[in-house]
Chains A and B, each alone.
Chain A
Amino acid sequence: MKAKSRFNAHIILIVATLTFVTGLWSCQKVIQVNLNSAAPQLVIDASISDQPGPDTVTLSQTVNFNQDNIFPPVTGATVVISDNFGNIDTLKEVDPGKYLVSKMRGIPGRTYFLNVNVNGALYSATSTMPFPVPIDSIAVEKISGQLISNKLRLLISFHDPKGIENYYRILEKILNTQPIDGVIQLPTLGNILTDRLLDGTEINYSAISNQPKLVVGDTVLVSLQSVDKNMYNYFRTVQQNGSMSTTLSNPVTNLTNGALGYFSAYSVRTETVVIPDF
Chain B
Amino acid sequence: MKITPKIIKSILCVIVLTGISVSAAYSQSQNKYIISGIVKDAKTGETLIGASIVIKELPGTGVTTNTFGFYSMKLPEGTYTVSTQYIGYESKVEKVVLNRDVKLDFNLHEKANELQEITITNSRKNENITSVQMGAQNLNVKEINNIPVIFGEKDVLKTLQLLPGIQPVGEGNSGFYVRGGASDQNLILLDGATVFNASHLLGFFSVFNSDAIKDVTIYKGDAPAQYGGRISSVVDIRMNDGNDEKTIVSGGIGLIDSRLNVEGPIVKDRGSFIVSVRRTYADLFLKLSHDSITKNSRLYFYDLNAKANYRINDNNRIFLSGYLGKDVLGISSFGLNWGNVAGTFRWNHLFSQQLFSNTSLIFSNYKDEIALDRNNSLNIVSKIQNFSLQQDFQYYINPGNTLKFGYNSTYYEIIPGALTSGDSTFNLTNKYCWENAVYVSNELTLSHKLKTEYGLRFTSFSIIGPGAYYTYDSQGNTMDTTDYAAGKFIKTYFNLQPRVEFTYLLSGTSSVKASYDRNIQNLHLISNSTTSNPTSLWLPSSNNVKPEIADQVSLGYYRNFKRNKYEFSAEIYYKKIQNQIDYRNGAQLNFNENVESQLLYGIGRAYGIELYAKKNVGKFTGWLSYTLSRAEQRFALINDGHYYPSTQDRTHDISIVGIYKVSPKWTLSATWVYYTGNAVTFPSGKYSLDGTVVNYYTERNGYRMPPYHRLDLSATWIRKKTATRESSWTFSIYNAYDRANAYTITFQPDPNNPQRTEAIQTTLFKIVPSITYNFKL
Contact = CB atoms under 8 A, between A and B. Distances in A.
A contacts with B: majority SS:
loop
B585 to A, nearest CB: 3
A26 B763 contact: yes
Nearest to A22: B764
Most buried by A among B201, B585, B586, B760: B586
A146 B767 CA distance: 25
Contacts of B663: none
A244 B647 CA distance: 12
B530 A244 contact: yes
Given A7-B590, A38-B698, A233-B586, A31 B292 contact: no
Contact of A188 (B588, B692, B703): B692
Contacts of A35: 682-684, 703
B683 A65 contact: yes
Interface string B729-757: 00000000000101111111101001111
Contacts of B584: 247
Contacts of B766: 25-27
A21 B531 CA distance: 15
B689 A244 contact: no
A62 B757 CA distance: 14
A22 B765 contact: yes
A228 to B, nearest CB: 15
Nearest to B334: A13
Contacts of B742: 31
Interface string A8-34: 111011101110111001111111110
Nearest to B422: A1
Nearest to B376: A2
B351 interface: no
Interface stretch (A67-75, A107-115, A122-130, A266-274): A67-75
A20 B297 contact: yes
Contacts of B701: 246
Interface stretch (B102-110, B245-253, B367-375, B665-673): B367-375
Interface in A178-208: 186-189, 197
A61 interface: yes
B692 A65 contact: no
A41 to B, nearest CB: 7
Contacts of A148: 293, 332
A145 B764 contact: no
B693 A238 contact: no
A242 B766 CA distance: 24
B758 interface: yes
A197 B426 contact: yes
A159 interface: no
B47 to A, nearest CB: 39
Nearest to B695: A241
A78 interface: no
B697 A248 contact: yes
A240 interface: yes
A30 B758 contact: yes
Contact of B585 (A64, A70, A247): A247
Contacts of B529: 243-246
A115 B8 CA distance: 61
B448 to A, nearest CB: 50
B299 A1 contact: no
B111 interface: no
Interface residues of A, number: 76
A27 B763 contact: yes
Contact of A69 (B426, B688, B700, B765): B688
A13 B647 CA distance: 24
Contact of B757 (A65, A241, A243): A65
Contacts of A8: 590
A71 B747 CA distance: 18
Contacts of B695: 65, 241
Interface string B372-400: 10111010100000000000000000000
B687 A146 contact: no
A68 B690 contact: no
A17 B681 contact: no
A28 B757 contact: no
Given A3-B421, A65-B695, A250 B585 contact: yes
Given A10-B535, A26-B762, A147-B294, A60 B530 contact: no
Contacts of A5: 372
Given A10-B370, A26-B766, A251-B586, A17 B688 contact: no
A150 B531 CA distance: 27
Most buried by A among B331, B424, B751, B767: B331
Nearest to A5: B372
A71 B754 CA distance: 13
B528 interface: yes
Contact of A65 (B329, B685, B762): B685
Interface string B514-543: 000000000000001111010100000000
Given A65-B747, A71-B687, A242-B746, A145 B760 contact: no
B768 interface: yes
B688 A45 contact: yes
A63 to B, nearest CB: 6
A32 B473 CA distance: 42
A264 to B, nearest CB: 10
A189 B370 CA distance: 27
A249 B680 CA distance: 11
Contact of B754 (A69, A144, A189): A69
Given A26-B766, A28-B763, A30-B759, A246 B647 contact: yes
Given A30-B758, A186-B749, A236 B586 contact: yes
Given A13-B329, A69-B756, A26 B684 contact: no
Contact of B378 (A3, A21, A250): A3
Contacts of A38: 684-685, 696, 698
B687 A41 contact: yes
Interface in B643-697: 647, 680-697
A40 to B, nearest CB: 8
A36 interface: yes
Contact of A145 (B201, B292, B754, B765): B292
Contacts of A197: 419, 421, 426, 591
A27 to B, nearest CB: 5
Nearest to A249: B585
Most buried by B among A36, A189, A245, A248: A248
B255 to A, nearest CB: 11
A217 B647 CA distance: 48
A41 B689 CA distance: 13
A84 interface: no
B329 to A, nearest CB: 5
Given A41-B685, A65-B686, A18 B757 contact: no
Instruction: Give 9 closest A-B pairs by Cβ, nearest first.
Output: A145-B293, A237-B586, A249-B585, A38-B684, A248-B681, A187-B691, A62-B685, A38-B685, A43-B687
26 contacts: A4-B374, A10-B370, A10-B535, A12-B334, A13-B329, A21-B282, A26-B765, A27-B766, A29-B740, A38-B684, A62-B685, A65-B685, A69-B686, A69-B693, A69-B755, A144-B293, A145-B332, A148-B293, A187-B690, A189-B690, A236-B588, A245-B530, A249-B586, A250-B697, A252-B585, A260-B694
Given A14-B533, A26-B743, A43-B688, 12 more contacts: A17-B329, A25-B765, A26-B762, A27-B762, A30-B759, A33-B682, A145-B292, A145-B293, A246-B647, A247-B584, A247-B681, A247-B700
Interface of B: 201-202, 204, 282, 291-294, 297, 299, 329, 331-332, 334, 336, 370, 372, 374-376, 378, 380, 419, 421-422, 424, 426, 528-531, 533, 535, 582-588, 590-591, 647, 680-698, 700-703, 740, 742-749, 751, 754-768
